Amino acid sequence: MNKESRRAIVWFRNDLRLHDNEALLDAIQSAGEIIPVYIFDPRIFMGKTKYGFTKTGKFRAKFIIESVIDLKSRLQQLGSDLYIRIGKPEEELLSLALEIKSSWVFCNRERTQEEVDVQDALENSLWAIGQEMRYSRGKMLFYTADLPFPVTHTPDIFTQFRKEVEKFIPVREPLPAPSDRFNQLSVALEYGDVPSLPDLGHEDFVANDKGGYVWKGGESEALNQLKYYLWDKDLIKDYKETRDGLLGRDFSSKFSPWLAQGCLSPKMIYSELKKYETERTKNKSTYWMFFELMWRDFFRLAGKKFGNAIFQESGTKEEISVQWNEDSALFDKWASGNTGIPFIDANMRELNATGFMSNRGRQNVASFLVKDLNLNWVKGAEYFESLLIDYDPCSNYGNWNYIAGVGADPREDRYFNIISQAKRYDSAAEYVKYWLPELKAVPSEEVHTIDVVDSSKLRKYKVELGKDYPNAVVGTSKWA
Ligand SMILES: Cc1cc2nc3c(=O)[nH]c(=O)nc-3n(C[C@H](O)[C@H](O)[C@H](O)COP(=O)(O)OP(=O)(O)OC[C@H]3O[C@@H](n4cnc5c(N)ncnc54)[C@H](O)[C@@H]3O)c2cc1C
């Protein structure tokens, strides 16, 4: 059979883009007819985590729907389209493969268990009908084949990993998006519609700009944000100084949701960064974006090296001897932003209202949950998994492992003094007052430790603790 008469399915998963998409280009090189596919898997969208949170909360579900709409439209501009179904990918793709008599299913390989189970099941059924899976790569900055160590020997300490790669391993150029029109299919296909939020178990909602920004999924928006952050606003040149900010759109790149769904390739960011350094400015901040993207690769490699361990309570350790506090009412106060510690509550309320929280906020609320409330970190990580618009299994669980002291990195004590963090990163209390408007009248120097403000002053500020704002679950004098 010659190439032109062969058909290839391209299964889009967490790689919702045309640029730097190895699986798509591999398929185009192998077959004359290409059938791009996206399957909404109800187990991922409507399933529950171990602690009962919806696996994909409404913010991410909406973002993914928008990303799929954008991908479909970009494919249509090339004379192609996107075949869409709700169902189990291993069943939907098998029946499509049988129907159109394709030769292969191409996809970018996933490495975390749930995704691997699905791709393995599909591969087995394809073999039974004389077809094959073809795997490509596309998640990371570095190719594992280029690394100076095998995946299983990835250093456990980030600094060591970074030193072994940053100066010696070149980041490859991103692959170009296909520019030629796709060949006409010689089979008729019912492409199917993009589901709505209610189809995926969520009520419809209008995205708000409470976080200073309205997220929109898709490669087109991702490329716009890259242009905005580097070229239009030159924000990258001050990134190292601004990245610990808390309020608004511009303090950090906000690339994470697009990276998580693969609307944006890290190699594309790197390539633009290098151009920016040549044409405009090269400084600590431009380097620091590379540094943070290396953290992302590091956690992905740890996910490969340690497999399911990163999701377990003991993480990469053999065992842990912590007796967790099982108080679920206390957990609910943390999750809903009602702990009575303004810096924690503001961050959790932002997460609940927008699906996003800054890196500084994430570190603090995670440390507070584990180290101050002694609640099981896995439950906190699952709550993040449900809510985060940028949820990525390796980055989320890797960071939680790290903070809970169960990661491979031996520096166990990642303890955050919440009040000194609040005073340092929100010294004018603008962030706290933005998310907790009930505390607006409290002077900035008092608001972070509202639990120790005396009652006559509180009356003046029109705040009654326990009524207008919760009593603190942990006295802030702990951090004095
Ligand atoms: C408890 C906890 C959970 C987290 N969960 C996730 C998650 O599910 N998904 C996710 O993408 N990030 C996660 N992070 C990392 C980090 O908070 C976000 O990547 C970052 O806040 C996203 O905003 P940004 O794109 O503006 O980041 P920027 O500061 O602009 O950084 C640029 C990119 O570098 C990468 N990056 C930066 N910091 C980290 C880090 N610590 N670990 C891994 N990658 C990093 C991200 O891809 C990010 O988009 C978590 C951090 C913590 C402490």
Tens digits of per-residue pLDDT, 381-407?
A: 999 999 999 999 999 999 999 999 998
At residue 412, the pLDDT reads 60
Tens digits of per-residue pLDDT, 334-361?
A: 999 999 999 999 999 999 999 999 999 9
* 193 located within any domain: no
At residue 88, the pLDDT reads 96
Tens digits of per-residue pLDDT, 67-116?
A: 999 999 999 999 999 999 999 999 999 999 999 999 999 999 888 888 88
Are 56 and 10 in contact by the 8 Å Cβ rule? The answer is no
Residue nearest to atom 38 of ligand 1 (CA): 292
Ligand 1 atom with the smallest distance to the CA of 357 is 21
**Residue 214 binned pLDDT confidence (cut-offs 50, 70, 90):** very high
**Are 286 and 351 in a shared domain?**
no
Testing ligand 1's pocket by substitution, the residue of 377, 390, 391, 394 carrying the most ligand atoms inside 8 A of its CB is: 390
Q: Where is average pLDDT lowest: 32-36, 207-211, 289-293? A: 207-211
Average pLDDT in the chain: 95
- Please list the alpha-helical segments (H only) found in 231-376: 239-242, 256-261, 266-279, 284-306, 328-336, 342-354, 359-367
Q: How far apart are CA 223 and CA 205, in angstroms?
A: 25
Mean pLDDT, range 17-32, rounded to an integer: 97
Residue nearest to atom 24 of ligand 1 (CA): 254
Residue nearest to atom 37 of ligand 1 (CA): 292
Cα torsion 88, 94, 95, 96 to 10°: value is 100
**Are 269 and 364 in a shared domain?**
no
**Are 425 and 335 in a shared domain?**
yes
* 393 located within any domain: yes
* 204 located within any domain: no
Ligand 1 centroid distance, CA of 110 (Å):
19
Mean pLDDT, range 35-41, rounded to an integer: 98
**Are 359 and 455 in a shared domain?**
yes
Compute φ and ψ for 104, nearest 5 degrees: -145, 160
pLDDT over 80 at 144, yes or no: yes
Residue nearest to atom 53 of ligand 1 (CA): 363
Question: What CATH number corresponds to the domain at position 456?
Answer: 1.10.579.10
**Are 126 and 149 in a shared domain?**
no
Report the share of the chain in percent with pLDDT over 70. 99
Ligand 1 centroid distance, CA of 359 (Å):
6
Ligand 1 atom with the smallest distance to the CA of 251 is 26
**DSSP secondary structure string, 129-184?**
TT-EEEEE--S-SS-GGGSSS-GGG--SSHHHHHHHHTTTSPPPPPPPPP-SPPPP
**Residue 331 binned pLDDT confidence (cut-offs 50, 70, 90):** very high
* 318 located within any domain: no
Segments forming the whole domain that contains residue 118:
3-137
**CB count in 10 Å sphere of residue 193:** 9
Mean pLDDT, range 13-30, rounded to an integer: 97
**Are 260 and 125 in a shared domain?**
no
CA angle 207, 246, 142 (to 5 degrees): 85
**Are 15 and 49 in a shared domain?**
yes
* 391 located within any domain: yes
**Are 307 and 375 in a shared domain?**
no
Q: How far apart are CA 85 and CA 41, in angstroms?
A: 9
**Are 335 and 442 in a shared domain?**
yes
At residue 342, the pLDDT reads 98
Residue nearest to atom 16 of ligand 1 (CA): 359
pLDDT over 70 at 413, yes or no: no
**Residue 414 binned pLDDT confidence (cut-offs 50, 70, 90):** confident
Under DSSP, the state recorded for 109 is P
* 213 located within any domain: no
**Are 132 and 156 in a shared domain?**
no
Count of domains forming the chain: 3
Residue nearest to atom 26 of ligand 1 (CA): 254
Under DSSP, the state recorded for 105 is E
Pocket of ligand 1 (CB under 6 A): 243, 252-256, 259-260, 289, 292-293, 295-296, 299, 358-359, 362-363, 366, 384, 388, 390-392, 395-396, 399-400, 403
Sequence-distant (6+) residues with CB within 8 A of 279 are none
Residue nearest to atom 11 of ligand 1 (CA): 256
pTM of the predicted structure, to 2 decimals: 0.97
At residue 2, the pLDDT reads 84
**Residue 4 binned pLDDT confidence (cut-offs 50, 70, 90):** confident
**Residue 321 binned pLDDT confidence (cut-offs 50, 70, 90):** confident
Question: What CATH number corresponds to the domain at position 159?
Answer: 1.25.40.80
Q: Which of 311, 337, 354 is the last residue of a domain?
A: 311
At residue 437, the pLDDT reads 97
One-letter amino acid identity for 113?
Q
**Are 163 and 51 in a shared domain?**
no
Compute φ and ψ for 224, nearest 5 degrees: -60, -45
Mean pLDDT, range 28-38, rounded to an integer: 97
Structure tokens that stand for 279 in this block? 């044409």
Q: What share of the chain is helix, strand, coil (3-state, %, to 5)?
A: 50, 5, 40
Measuring CA to CA, how many Å separate 122 from each of 26, 125, 181, 190, 431? 19, 5, 29, 21, 48
Question: What CATH number corresponds to the domain at position 110?
Answer: 3.40.50.620
Mean pLDDT, range 171-198, rounded to an integer: 96
**Are 399 and 438 in a shared domain?**
yes
* 157 located within any domain: yes
At residue 3, the pLDDT reads 83
* 346 located within any domain: yes
